[in-house]
Amino acid sequence: MSHGNKQQWILAKRPQDVPDPSEVVFQEVAIPATAAGMVLVKNHYISLDPAIRLWMSDIPNYLPPIPIGDPIRATVVGEVIESGSDDLSAGDLVFGLGGWETHSTAPAEFWTKIPSDSEFPLHYYGNMLGAVGLTPYFAIVDVGQAKAGQTMLMSAAAGAVGSIGGQIAKLMGLKVVGIAGTDEKCQWVVDELGFDDCINYRTTGDMEAAIREKCPEGVDFYFDNVGGEILDAALLNMNKDSTLLFCGTISTYNATEPVPGPYNYWQILAKTITVKGYLISDHFHRVVEGQEAMSQWLKEDKIKFREHINEGIENCLDTYNLLFTGGNDGKLMLKL
């Protein structure tokens, strides 16, 4: 059965810097027939995540590089149109690994069914109840083994992962100091989300001194979303036997030159810091457990969040690049 055409963004060339429309190209193609084992989904929301930029390049990663000519890979939320699998049926709502396109065809195992009696809006599954909310949940509660009374430093604190992570840490009894790129973002995480303090890294100047001032007792847990100079400043403030949870390094994702390692790498030895590389995909088998915890906090109004939702598949690339200027206010998504 023909389903007409779909619009999509494909990878024409590996980007050299912030991706541009000569490297990531918009096109219209026919929707392929749905083969056995495959599922055709009409996408309603596309989650725009920093990691996609790394999938566009060909450096070794936890997923293979997006092949040249393929749609840009992304987590999407949508509705099954046609199913070649007994596990899903037309009309089911799902989230999973699709692409920057109006319709995605992917193997049935790539999709997770959203309960038909879910009380949450669909876009929550691209955010709080999808990989974004579960990322800081497992990072803090499980992998990082955060403890009440510790001091946590959180970079990209007003972003999707950072803003939720800081609130989880507060619920667990930690002191949390954020780092963000505008005064307004800093004010939001302190006044609305309950962080203890926040540093505007764009205006502060000496980051090492600013962290020391806000965390005079030292940092027990650095939740690193950005890498680069902020990581170097954090390292000089880490306590003995502290934890560095390495979640992301967005300051380097568009680097055009080789990225130096942290200049203060030796602090890991001097302070016997435990560095934990972290991947949410290692915890996908525990999605239900994470969703239950997040759902409960949402119902009790214990976690707040912002969503930045732009509309229209043709705006996907411009919207995506907001991540690298701090132009997004909260979880960035595209609505179709």
Ligand X SMILES: NC(=O)c1ccc[n+]([C@@H]2O[C@H](COP(=O)([O-])OP(=O)(O)OC[C@H]3O[C@@H](n4cnc5c(N)ncnc54)[C@H](OP(=O)(O)O)[C@@H]3O)[C@@H](O)[C@H]2O)c1
Residues in contact with ligand X by the rule CB under 6 A: 49-51, 135, 156, 158-162, 180-182, 185, 225-226, 247-251, 278-280, 323-324, 326, 328, 332
**Cβ(112)–Cβ(287) below 8 Å:** yes
Partners of residue 9 on adjacent β-strands:
26
C-beta closer to ligand X: residue 230 or 336: 230
Please say whether the beta carbons of 223 and 136 come within 8 A: yes
Q: Cβ of residue 222: shortest distance to ligand X, in angstroms? A: 13
Q: Shortest approach of ligand X to residue 329 CB, angstroms?
A: 8
Nearest alpha-carbon partner for 11 in 106, 100, 98:
100
Choose between 175 and 308: whose C-beta lies nearer to ligand X: 308
Residue nearest to ligand X (CB): 159
Q: Which is nearer to ligand X, 38 or 293 (CB)?
A: 293
Q: How far is the CB of 116 from ligand X (least distance, A)?
A: 27
- Token output for 218: 């030292």
Closest separation between CB of residue 131 and ligand X, Å? 6
- Residue 178 burial class via C-beta count within 10 angstroms: exposed 0-12, middle 13-18, buried 19 and up: buried
**Are 166 and 195 a contacting pair, CB within 8 Å?**
yes
Name which of 102 and 155 has its Cβ closer to ligand X: 155
Give whichever of 4 and 258 is closer to ligand X, judged by the CB atom. 258
**Closest distance of CB 73 from ligand X, Å:** 14
Min dist CB 245 to ligand X, Å, is 9
| Residue 129 bridge partners (DSSP) | none
To the nearest whole angstrom, how small is the minimum distance from the Cβ of residue 102 to ligand X? 23
Taking the least distance from each CB to ligand X, the nearer of 250 and 273 is 250
Nearer to ligand X, 171 or 255 (CB): 255
Q: Looking at beta carbons only, is 93 or 132 nearer to ligand X?
A: 132
* Distance of closest approach, residue 279 Cβ to ligand X, in angstroms: 5
